[in-house]
Amino acid sequence: MMRRRMVGRPLVRAAATTAVVAGTAAVVGGAVSHRQQSKYDQQAYDQQQQAYVQQQMEADRQQQYYAPPPTAAPPAPASPAEPDLGARLQQLAQLRDSGVLTDEEFVAAKQKLLTS
């Protein structure tokens, strides 16, 4: 029995093996590259976050030093103003004219208003 020679088949087999190996290497290399890039991206993100936190802390510290002084409490409301002297004297004169006060009482009340 004669054996058939396989001419060209080892070449096809070698080409197929090379293609599989090359494809596998590309996939593995891409995964490694992606993993490394993710690692570098995470480090950059962490550095940005740390810088932001430091900026916020510095801003808070400066705000404590440069905060405007607290405003003073508003003054207490004044006691109700007493009617002015002229109005009080007119009231006394009306009371005297109506007969409620005598002339002596009027003079005494007027003197008390003028001295106080």
Secondary structure of residue 101 in the 3-state scheme: coil
Reply yes or no on whether the pLDDT at 81 is more than 90: no
Q: How far apart are CA 49 and CA 39, in angstroms?
A: 15
The better pLDDT of the pair 4, 71 is held by 71
Q: How far apart are CA 102 and CA 58, in angstroms?
A: 80
User: Tens of pLDDT along 31-67?
Assistant: 667 677 777 778 888 888 888 888 888 877 776 666 5
pTM: 0.31
Reply yes or no on whether the pLDDT at 1 is more than 60: no
> Would you state the pLDDT for residue 45?
84
* Nearby residues of 102 by Cβ (< 8 Å), 6 or more positions away: 96
The better pLDDT of the pair 15, 86 is held by 86
Mean pLDDT of 24-33: 67
The DSSP 8-state label assigned to residue 1 in this structure reads -
> Would you state the pLDDT for residue 86?
84
Mean pLDDT of 80-99: 82
R_g of the chain computed on alpha carbons: 52
Reply yes or no on whether the pLDDT at 26 is more than 70: no
The better pLDDT of the pair 28, 104 is held by 104
